[in-house]
Amino acid sequence: MIMKKYITLLVVVLFLTSGHTAAQGKNDVKTALKSIIELCKAKKFDEAAKSVAFCVNEKTGEYKAADLSNKEQHNTSSRLVKRIGALASVSDSFEIGNSSPKKINGTDMTETEVNFVSGSQSIKSLFRFVKINDEFLLAEVE
């Protein structure tokens, strides 16, 4: 009887966990994007920079997580997140649009449109993410 309860509990836990993982996987890019924008808006640029990827080789399109102890990578990441912070600071709100897979310079990316809204005006930006070690990192903003 006790074994049956444990098996039932295990099945329920596995079912709930797999459903949560699938739902979370669907929103990984949007969750990462929202977090980056919120951190930039709060001027927590160093924290936001931890979610940035660095292009190691432009010819091959190879990206890796930015090494913030490396001056060049730190400066590049800082410029990117401060640019996002500037967009967020002049906006009343932002709207995250649909995400779609793209292959850019041989690199698989996920592109998401963001509209920064201020009154009746809107600034559209494209955010591109790469997946490194099962984590979406920001690679480019256009």
At 61, is the pLDDT very low, low, confident or very high (cuts 50, 70, 90)? confident
Displacement of CA 115 from its chain's centroid (Å) = 16
Enumerate domains of the chain plus CATH numbers. 2-141 (3.10.450)
Q: What is the pLDDT of residues 75-105, one digit of tens each?
A: 999 999 999 999 999 999 999 999 999 998 8
List the one residue out of 126, 122, 120, 123 whose CA is nearest residue 139.
126
- Tell me: pLDDT of 11 over 50: no
Q: What is the pLDDT of residues 17-59, one digit of tens each?
A: 333 333 344 448 999 999 999 999 999 999 999 999 999 988 8
* Residue 22: CB atoms within 10 Å: 9
pLDDT at 99: 94
pLDDT at 125: 96
- Tell me: pLDDT of 139 over 50: yes
Displacement of CA 33 from its chain's centroid (Å) = 4
pTM of the entire predicted model: 0.78
